Amino acid sequence: RTVNRPTFSRPAGAPLSVQSAISSAALALAPGRLGELTEHVPAALVDEALEVTRRKERRIRLLPARVVVYFVLAMALFPGDGYQGVWAHLVAGLDRSAARFPSSRALRLARVRLGAAPLAELFRRVCGTVADTETTGAWWRGLRVVAWDGTGLEVADSAANAAFFGYPSGSCGPAGYPQLRMVAIVECGTRALIDAVWGPQGCGENALAARLVASLRRGMLLLADRGFDGYELWGHTTASGASLLWRAKGKRLLPRLKELPDGSYLSLLPERRDMQRRLQARRRGKTWDAAPIGHPVRVVEYAVAVTTSDGDSRTEHFRLITTLLDPSLYPAAELAELYHQRWEIETAYFSFKISLRGAGKILRSHTPDGVDQELYGYLIVYQALRRSMHQVALALKTGSVRLSFNVALREARDSVIQPHPSSDEATRDRIHSALTREIRPARRRDRCSPRTVKRPSSPFPSNRRHPSADGRSRTSLKVSYRILIPSATAPLTIAPEP
């Protein structure tokens, strides 16, 4: 097939073969771009990740490794399009001479050849804290406020994914799609990803959170919901030097050792075996003279009353445990108000799972390695969007939470398909201009959301099919036709024309 190549000026004294090689390399690498987000994921950074993971090719292919990395990132920007559609978006802003269209099979094999390691290395280079000392809402009394929590993501229903990730089960039986479990650390002031890990459905959130402890630093204040307040995880996390403010379960035994002036009290987070021995001794009427084993904590108990405009009211009791033991430096009332920022990670998950990935969408990859590669692509694009929003927030001298993630995502997609000319600086930066126009109010309104199921279970039976030998869920059909001839005794009726 004849391809019209762009013209290049040949250097003086350079042989024709060198000119042809330069032209072919430039033509093959032209789709390696991601619009305005390329600033946060530059080609040099991608090449470094490829070099470290030894995925850099020795010769320029039709689909170089760098281009395949940007193709995986573009899959996260355009999750509703197939391979051909995603590639069409990548080459939409290029000259027609550089717009090559490989087949879907070639793109799929290129993903397999690349693997997940380069995307994992690239994510490690772009993730991390974003806020600086001038960032609004990212700090509390000199501590960087962060939070971690878990979530689930549905993957394609293939034999390989089902065997590795497993199906979650509930009151209505197993789910229709395999699901992975992910735990991430988010910077509350910017909602940027500090780190994220995931595993099969059987992995507990505490086990995944233990793998994230290495990403914590001294000077951070980690917020967490109920379920993470175990003795082992608490000790492992405090060893990182970070301060903790976690919600404790209502049934957890926390003895009152010393009352503090602000209403909080000092206690011990007991070790499980020691607590069981003491409970057994108490049931037998015996005394346990040994000193208790546990981590020293400070307990803050409070109640939150919510009254809506229609008159409904609800009260919920909270019990927080923290490593901040000094009530004069860290008052209990401020800690209770600060814990509300834990919901910033829920908003981050909403932006990632609903706005970026799409409501009701599943990861398209049919193998665990492909799922890892695709998920890393989503996380990299999400982090690039948050970094771009943070730059706009610094320029506007406001908080990142006042900027719309959906607006930034929309403009990032448009910058890939229809790039602005680089000569016009005012119109080139789509994301900055759009976020400035649609900035949110300074004070967010108070909201409450009841824990109700908005999409009840379907009354229809499960549509899960058994996968075939090649791992794909498909059904072979044989269609036959039989012409029905009316009998001679049947009356012939002709419908009147309308």
- Identify the pLDDT of residue 484: 78
Highest mean pLDDT among 54-58, 333-337, 466-470: 333-337
Beta-strand runs (E) in 175-275: 179-187, 192-199, 220-224, 243-247, 258-259, 265-270
Across the range 331-352, mean pLDDT stands at 94
Asked if pLDDT for residue 156 goes beyond 90, the answer is yes
Amino acid 300: pLDDT: 95
8-40: per-residue pLDDT in tens? Answer: 344 444 444 544 545 666 777 888 889 899 999
Share of the chain above pLDDT 90, in %: 53
Q: What is the distance between the terminal CA atoms of the chain, rounded to a whole angstrom?
A: 54
pTM for the model stands at 0.84
Question: Distance (Å, rounded) from C-alpha 136 to C-alpha 252?
Answer: 36
Amino acid at 146: V
Taking the mean position of all CA atoms in its chain, how far away is CA 428? 28
Q: Is the pLDDT of residue 70 over 90?
A: yes
Mean predicted lDDT score pLDDT of the chain: 83
Query: 382 pLDDT band (50/70/90 cuts)?
Result: very high
pLDDT band at 231 (very low <50, low <70, confident <90, very high): confident
For 279-301, how does the pLDDT look when each residue is reduced to its tens digit (9 = 90+)? Answer: 666 677 766 565 667 889 999 99
With bands split at pLDDT 50, 70 and 90, how would you rate the model's confidence at 205? very high
Q: Which residue has the higher pLDDT, 425 or 137?
A: 137
**Average pLDDT estimate for 430-447:** 77
Q: What are phi and psi of 199, to 5 degrees?
A: -165, -170
- Taking the C-alpha atoms of residue 192 and residue 348, their distance in angstroms, rounded to an integer, is 8
Pairing state of beta strands 243-247 and 258-259? unpaired
Query: What confidence score (pLDDT) does residue 298 get?
Result: 95
Task: Pick the more confident residue, 341 or 463.
Answer: 341
Q: Which of 279, 275, 267, 273 is nearest to 320 (CA)?
A: 267
CA distance 379 to 192: 10
Q: pLDDT digit string (tens) for 73-118? A: 999 999 999 999 999 999 887 776 656 788 999 999 999 999 999 9
**Residue partners of 140: CB distance under 8 A and separation at least 6:** 221, 334, 338
Whole-angstrom Cα distance, residue 320 to residue 465? 46
pLDDT in tens, 213-227: 999 999 999 999 998
Q: Which is nearest to 184 in space by CA: 155, 201, 209?
A: 209
- Contact (Cβ atoms closer than 8 angstroms) between residue 149 and residue 123: no
Indicate if the pLDDT at residue 468 is higher than 60. Answer: no
DSSP-assigned letters across all residues of 369-399 = HHHHHHHHHHHHHHHHHHHHHHHHHHHHTS-
Over range 62-81, report the average pLDDT: 93
Q: Which tens digit of pLDDT belongs to each residue from 174-199?
A: 778 899 999 999 999 999 999 999 99
37 and 385 Cβ atoms separated by less than 8 Å: yes
